[in-house]
Amino acid sequence: MLVLYREFSISYFKFSSLFVLVLHLALPSVVQAEARHCIGLFQSQANHAGLFDVREMEVKGYALRRPGFPLKKQNVLLNIEKYIQDFDQLTRGSSGRMIRQTLFAQDGSRVEVYRIHRARAKKRVLISAGVHGDEALGSVVALDLAKQILRETSRAYNSIEFIFIPLVNKEALRLGYRYLREEGDYNRAFHRDGPAPPRVKSIVKELEDIKIDLHLDLHQSMSSSHFFVIRMDRDDSGLSEFGVRSMEESDRMVLSDYKPFRIKPTPYKEIEPGVMSSSNPGTFKSFTSNRGAISITVEAPGLFPVKQAREIYLQLVQTLVDAI
Ligand SMILES: [Zn+2]
């Protein structure tokens, strides 16, 4: 019995070693196949050029104000390495106008911060994105905006200093998850004190003493087919209303038409079509608002073709920045 057991152990050992060897040999080809698949997808969407992949999912049961609009959830999966490469390349080509700063979080992860300095800056604008890892379109639009700002030299941008934190929850973005279970929702963790994920803590520490005039936190509402912004309840600047009114009426969300909000009581108050307000504690916007900024969460629809959403999103963000 003992002998048999030993023989079994040895053959099991041999088998498992063989298995590991086979796996080892097979894995690179699996990875390569996956990479080829991704390249194929990227190439089929010329505008995206490898920066992201779009995952499309059929959804059912949402009331829409847009008859015949495709009921497909368009989820963006970001290619993080390519994204950082693109932002770095933009930085290098900016003749010193943009610089990269890296924050080192306590868990060893790096938080990329890009700053566009102005000699005569009168205002400071913070653009953050990727607080939720399944809402990567915001990060894409943050990069689009940085490109646009560096391209244009004559506009009001000259008097604005920009801070970009485009990959707030980088690991969740890499996986396409809203957040990592062990860390929880970043957008309830922006408290000055108390427990928070290390990346949030490093951002809080960095921004604590910086005066910010406008903060746009770029999100995506995956179950929505229309754009909306969420301002603070007490914000009477009119900026959100101004920005949203620049959009086509048909692109603005009406909360009463929005089935998920009809089913579940919502902490959001509808100010007018496309403008909500809330004062949820622990959000990134409430953190910067408590330090004097006009802080707005911008939500692009997830039930919307990505290419179109990206263009409208960029226009909305630009309008908000121009108006500050
Ligand atoms: Zn979000």
Q: Specify the pLDDT at position 21.
A: 42
Q: How far does the centroid of ligand 1 lie from the alpha carbon of residue 56, in Å?
A: 18
Q: How far does the centroid of ligand 1 lie from the alpha carbon of residue 45, in Å?
A: 25
Q: Specify the pLDDT at position 263.
A: 67
**Spans in the chain with pLDDT lower than 50:** 1-47, 63
Q: How far does the centroid of ligand 1 lie from the alpha carbon of residue 298, in Å?
A: 9
Lookup result for tokens 């943009």: 98
Q: How far does the centroid of ligand 1 lie from the alpha carbon of residue 129, in Å?
A: 9
Residue 137 CA to residue 307 CA, distance in Å, equals: 10
Query: What is the CATH classification number for the domain harbouring 113?
Result: 3.40.630.10
189 falls within a domain? yes
286 falls within a domain? yes
Same domain, 6 and 71: no
50 falls within a domain? no
Model pTM score: 0.83
Say if residues 300 and 134 touch (Cβ distance below 8 Å).
Answer: no
Q: Specify the pLDDT at position 258.
A: 66
Same domain, 17 and 65: no
Same domain, 28 and 141: no
Q: Which two tokens stand for residue 83?
A: 């994204």
Q: How far does the centroid of ligand 1 lie from the alpha carbon of residue 6, in Å?
A: 56
- Pairing mode of beta strands 275-278, 228-232: parallel
Task: Give the DSSP per-residue string, 49-67.
Answer: TTSEEEEEEE------SST
Q: How far does the centroid of ligand 1 lie from the alpha carbon of residue 141, in Å?
A: 14
Same domain, 10 and 73: no
pLDDT digits (tens, 9 = 90+) for 91-133: 999 999 999 999 999 999 999 999 998 888 889 999 999 999 9
Q: How far does the centroid of ligand 1 lie from the alpha carbon of residue 219, in Å?
A: 5
Q: How far does the centroid of ligand 1 lie from the alpha carbon of residue 10, in Å?
A: 53
Same domain, 237 and 185: yes
Q: How far does the centroid of ligand 1 lie from the alpha carbon of residue 263, in Å?
A: 19
Same domain, 38 and 155: no
175 falls within a domain? yes
Q: How far does the centroid of ligand 1 lie from the alpha carbon of residue 271, in Å?
A: 20
Same domain, 286 and 180: yes
* Number of domains the chain is built from: 2
Which chain residues have CB less than 5 Å from ligand 1, an ion? 132, 135, 219
Residue 37 CA to residue 45 CA, distance in Å, equals: 13
221 falls within a domain? yes
106 falls within a domain? yes
Residue 79 CA to residue 36 CA, distance in Å, equals: 14
261 falls within a domain? yes
Residue 33 CA to residue 41 CA, distance in Å, equals: 12
Same domain, 168 and 208: yes
Q: How far does the centroid of ligand 1 lie from the alpha carbon of residue 184, in Å?
A: 13
Same domain, 221 and 263: yes
Select from 165, 164, 166, 162 the least CA-distant residue to 117. Answer: 162
Same domain, 68 and 159: yes
Q: How far does the centroid of ligand 1 lie from the alpha carbon of residue 11, in Å?
A: 52
Q: How far does the centroid of ligand 1 lie from the alpha carbon of residue 135, in Å?
A: 6
Same domain, 21 and 61: no
Q: How far does the centroid of ligand 1 lie from the alpha carbon of residue 323, in Å?
A: 24
49 falls within a domain? no
Q: How far does the centroid of ligand 1 lie from the alpha carbon of residue 220, in Å?
A: 6
Same domain, 23 and 78: no
Q: How far does the centroid of ligand 1 lie from the alpha carbon of residue 136, in Å?
A: 9
Q: How far does the centroid of ligand 1 lie from the alpha carbon of residue 299, in Å?
A: 7
Question: Which range marks the domain in which residue 14 is found?
Answer: 2-44
